[in-house]
Structure 1
Amino acid sequence: MKKTLILVAAAALAISVLAACGKGDDSKSAGGNKHAGHTAGSAQASAHHGGDHNEHDGHGAEAASATADFQVSFAFPAGAAKADEDTELTVQVKDKSGKPVDRYEVSHEKLLHLIVVNHDLSFFNHIHPTFRGDGTFAVNTSFPAGGEYKLFADFVPAGGANTTLSDWVQVAGPEGAHAAITADKTLVKEVDGKEVELIMSTTKPKEDVTLTFNIRDANTKRGIDNLQPYLGAIGHVVIVSEDASQYLHVHPVDEKATGPDAAFATSFPDSGTYKIWGQFQHDGKVFTAPFVVNMK
């Protein structure tokens, strides 16, 4: 039986930033200035450094969250999603009066970006539901195991600011092992033949930080300087806190850069452990480099 829980999230502090961004319909994992990201549960400007306040609520097959201006609900037509099975996921956005929101700004080539993570952040999916009208988006997707997943709907209403609303949903089926989320000892990862190094200008929270991804060929170690635009930019970065209460979607300092360095400016709202996914495109293929860092 479907359960519908409406959750009210308090709006966080706002500063002016660039428009939201995202990636293509099948990409999986994988700042304190105008390029900063935005956090979940916010209906104000997109650089909020607060979290949503609905942690672990809305665990039913249909879940919903809201702010003072907008609300979103996530639902599965069969009443629940099952692990490792394709299913349709619908996302409906309404305004504060309950009227479906039908007009959106195109943000980095998409009307809505949907980020999906599981309970221990070992799974990451960045997909783009298709708009069907009546405030409703839909996409076919799947979940690798049972358990809790958090969904972040990232969009820009017409004439409005970046808005991100989120909620937890429950997926039926055996759960995967719960892995501890621990900071990486070295910030170098090999992904799809690329060696990606993350360099951070600081690891202190509440301070401006530049995240620089150096991307090179894993075999030759030569820098890759012909990265292709990924939804209109050199790349995009998603950051989620260990408990998934904090979410930032960060844009590059220079969207037209082609590598081997890709710099992103943001700030982390609090101390703690965060997972960072950097997404880039080369030779027509999107690759995602995940890192775990500790801000203190």
Structure 2
Amino acid sequence: MKKKTMLMLTGALAIGVLSACGGSKENAHSDGHGSTSHQEENSATPSAGHGDHGDHGTSEQSANYKASFSFSTESVKANENSELHIQITDSDGDAVKEFELNHEKLMHLIVVSKDLSYFNHIHPNDQGDGQFSIGMSFPNGGEYKAFADFVPKAGTNTTLSQWVKVEGNAKSPEPVKADAQLTKAIDDKEIELTLSSTKANEEVTLVFNISDAQTKEGIRDLEQYLGAVGHVVILSEDAEQYLHVHPVEEKATGPKAEFMTSFPKSGTYKIWGQFQHQGKVFTVPFVVNIS
């Protein structure tokens, strides 16, 4: 009989209105999307919506929901498959049994390494009675943070998160350092990011301009990915501020994809944009300083 190892318990973290998805080890695979922003204190909070561009921001904390994260093995080891179980309960400890579809999924799970060099966006399966599960593996030993993003029935966007300790050889941490230039080449594509502002607590427009890396021609046939032209996840350097951002125009097809959000405080943030072209999802990371 398998033992479940309880690795963490969280409450609900606050959210505004935002969204995105993906997985990558500076381009790992992923295929999820959610929407949330929260300040990490091992407690979750429901989000209050704002605007129709789908941006989740930080609001006051509450303890409306809780989550227990556990694995079906006694320890979690790098490069070994493990089954992650997530149990969602309300403030009375009762299982939350009904959830709303949020960008085509009932739950989006974002997993990042402590240095933010690894990123993955996946979708756990609904097992009923408030429990979700998914098989997964971690590339190296060390600490990872998991964010469960969901919408309870007749509720609001909620994000629950916790750190996970993975056994095995750990790689040297990579510094989270602002990019000198906000242009990246990914999968034969050139992606340029522009921000209308780099100040905290101001509305910011993020514009991704996606072109063919060889011809420099703008790509105008981006495909819908989880119901939108793209999704964006943003994390502060310490992984305490989490933003999941949806596009301003969901049915856009490129070459530009615009997103609106607000950075809750000054500091260094990592941004992952996710898009789909010719049946393939690609994830592009950027790091920016916010004053």
Q: Shorter-chain TM-score: which interval?
A: 0.7 to 0.9
8 Å contact 1:109–1:231 — kept in the other structure?
yes
Q: Give the CA deviation at 1:44.
A: 3.2
Q: Aligned pair 1:44/2:53, yes or no? A: no
1:74 Cα deviation after fit: 1.2
Deviations 1:141-180 (A, max 9, x none): 1100011000000000000000011110111111111111
One-letter amino acid of the structure 2 residue matched with residue 291 of structure 1: F
Partners of 2:189 and 2:77 in 1: CA distance:
34
User: 1:179 and 1:106 mapped to 2: Cα distance?
Assistant: 36
Taking the aligned partners of 1:159 and 1:98, their CA distance within structure 2 comes to 18
Correspondence 1:205-216 to 2 at 5 A: 205-216=200-211
Q: Which residue does the alignment assign to 2:283?
A: 288
Are positions 1:131 and 2:126 aligned together? yes
SS in 2 for 1:82: coil
1:232 is matched with: 227
Aligned ranges for residues 9-48 of structure 1 at < 5 Å?
A: 12=14, 15=16, 17=17, 22=21, 28=28, 37-39=36-38, 41-45=44-48, 47-48=56-57
Letter in 1 for 2:28: K
In the alignment, is the contact (CA less than 8 A) between 2:224 and 2:230 conserved in 1?
Answer: yes
Q: Does 1:168 align with 2:163?
A: yes
Aligned residue among 249, 273, 282 for 1:278: 273
Quick one: distance in 2 between partners of 1:162 and 1:21? Answer: 13
For 1:95-244, list aligned pairs within 5 A: 95-244=90-239
> Structure 2 counterpart of 1:28, which letter?
A
Moved over 4 A (4+): 20-24
Distance 1:129 1:6, change over 3 A: closer
Give the superposition deviation at 1:28.
3.1
Identity of paired residues, percent? Answer: 54
| Residue 45 of structure 1, CA deviation | 1.9
Where 1:140 maps in the other structure, the secondary structure is: strand
Taking structure 2 as the reference length, the TM-score comes to 0.87
Instruction: Provide Cα deviations, 1:103-147, integer angstroms capped at 9, x if missing partner.
Output: 000011000000000010000000000000121111111100011
- Secondary structure (helix, strand or coil) at the match of 1:216 reads strand
- DSSP 3-state at the match of 2:197: coil
8 A Cα contact 2:22 2:120, kept in partner: no
Partner of 1:59: none
Q: CA RMSD in A?
A: 2.2
- Would you say the 8 A contact 1:230–1:280 is kept in 2? yes
Matched-pair contact (CA < 8 Å) for 1:146–1:171: yes
Distance 2:169 2:159 in 1: 30
Kept after mapping to 1: 8 A contact 2:20/2:230? no
Does the CA contact (< 8 Å) of 2:10 and 2:67 recur in 1? no
Secondary structure of the structure 2 residue equivalent to 1:39: strand
Aligned pairs for 1:64-79 (under 5 A) are 67-79=62-74
With normalisation by structure 1, the TM-score equals 0.86
Aligned to 2:52: none
Q: CA deviation at 1:267?
A: 0.4
Alignment partner, residue 53 of structure 2: none
Change (3 A) 1:48 1:116: same
User: How many equivalent residue pairs?
Assistant: 271
Deviation at 1:42, TM superposition (A): 2.3
More deviation, 107-116/173-182 = 173-182
In structure 2, distance between residues paired with 1:211 and 1:259: 14
Code of the residue aligned with 1:251 in structure 2: it is H
Native 8 Å contact 2:21 2:274 kept in 1? no
| 8 A contact 2:183–2:193 mirrored in 1 | yes
Is contact 1:105–1:159 with CA below 8 Å preserved after alignment? Answer: yes
